[in-house]
């Protein structure tokens, strides 16, 4: 399968999985940190057991459905991380089509895999936090922070590595490039202050992936030569 074909397939899968994720994951929690609007993102960036408790609320009758929905969404995210990781890695391969290999695109390929691996670890700690009775385990929160920020940093740098080549591939590709640069630039303020910066970081990564997929749908691929034509050229 060509890299462009892989982008089309994995991009469609990522879109379907993200839609399913939005349907099963709670769209509100009891109390989010200041400036945060996305419950799953707020939980990923939680800094203390008290913050997790505030998000889930004090009443078990309220907590249980939220915990169940968040756990289901986390399990579904394992499929999503494979899809978006493959989309970004395929984009790096598709763009690296010149006679000389470009180091920034090779870096983007590796960073896409790192982001998916870090996301898988993030899900592991999220499941532990959501399954723990009472206060969230401090150790799991610490490991969650390491894996979460490794993921976001890898995604941001991946997008920035793709950007120089994307800027030369048309409007949709340029939109993906801008989103990749914004994703990287928003990581540091999101880490320091969360809030709106974290929401911008998330939106930029989503737009990066969506624009890459739409770009792949418009790219014309060379037809595969038939066996008869190959024999004729011989």
Q: Kindly state the average pLDDT of the residues 77-96.
A: 97
Q: Note every long-range contact of 200-208, with CB atoms under 8 Å and residues 24 or more positions apart, other chains counting.
A: 201/152, 201/156, 202/38, 202/41, 204/159, 204/179, 204/180, 205/152, 205/155, 205/156, 205/159, 205/179, 206/18, 207/175, 207/176, 207/179, 208/155, 208/159, 208/176, 208/179, 208/180, 208/183
- Measured CA to CA, the distance from residue 131 to residue 124 in angstroms comes to 11
Q: Note every long-range contact of 41-44, with CB atoms under 8 Å and residues 24 or more positions apart, other chains counting.
A: 41/198, 41/199, 41/202, 43/70, 43/126, 43/129, 44/122, 44/126, 44/144, 44/148
Q: Kindly state the average pLDDT of the residues 185-210.
A: 97
The per-residue pLDDT for range 14-69, each reduced to its tens digit, is 999 999 999 999 999 999 998 999 999 999 999 999 999 999 988 777 888 999 99
Residue 114: count other Cβ atoms within 10 Å of its Cβ. Answer: 17
Q: Kindly state the average pLDDT of the residues 200-207.
A: 98
At residue 227, the pLDDT reads 45
Q: Where are the domains of the chain?
A: 3-219
Q: Kindly state the average pLDDT of the residues 137-159.
A: 96
Query: Considering the entire predicted model, what is its pTM?
Result: 0.92
- Measured CA to CA, the distance from residue 98 to residue 152 in angstroms comes to 29
- Measured CA to CA, the distance from residue 221 to residue 1 in angstroms comes to 12
At residue 228, the pLDDT reads 43
At residue 157, the pLDDT reads 98
- Measured CA to CA, the distance from residue 65 to residue 132 in angstroms comes to 15
The per-residue pLDDT for range 94-124, each reduced to its tens digit, is 999 877 679 999 999 999 999 999 999 999 9
């Amino acid at each position: 399968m060509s890299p462009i074909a892989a982008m089309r397939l994995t991009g469609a899968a990522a879109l379907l999985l993200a839609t399913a994720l939005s349907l099963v994951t709670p769209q509100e929690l009891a109390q989010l940190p200041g400036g945060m609007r996305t419950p799953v993102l707020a939980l990923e960036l939680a800094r203390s057991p008290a913050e997790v408790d505030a998000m889930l609320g004090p009443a078990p009758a309220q907590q249980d459905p939220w915990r169940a929905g968040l756990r289901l969404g986390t399990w579904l995210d394992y499929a999503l991380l494979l899809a978006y990781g493959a989309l970004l890695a395929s984009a790096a391969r598709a763009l690296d089509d010149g006679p000389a290999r470009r180091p920034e695109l090779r870096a983007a390929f590796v960073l896409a895999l790192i982001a998916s691996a870090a996301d898988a670890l993030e899900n592991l700690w999220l499941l532990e936090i959501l399954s723990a009775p009472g206060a969230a385990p401090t150790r799991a929160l610490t490991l969650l922070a390491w894996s979460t920020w490794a993921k976001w940093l890898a995604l941001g740098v991946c997008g920035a590595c793709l950007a120089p080549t994307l800027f030369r591939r048309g409007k949709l590709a340029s939109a993906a490039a801008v989103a990749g640069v914004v994703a990287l630039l928003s990581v540091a303020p999101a880490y320091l202050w969360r809030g709106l910066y974290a929401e911008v970081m998330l939106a930029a990564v989503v737009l990066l992936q969506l624009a890459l997929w739409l770009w792949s749908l418009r790219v014309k691929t060379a037809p595969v030569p038939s066996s008869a034509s190959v024999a004729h050229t011989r």
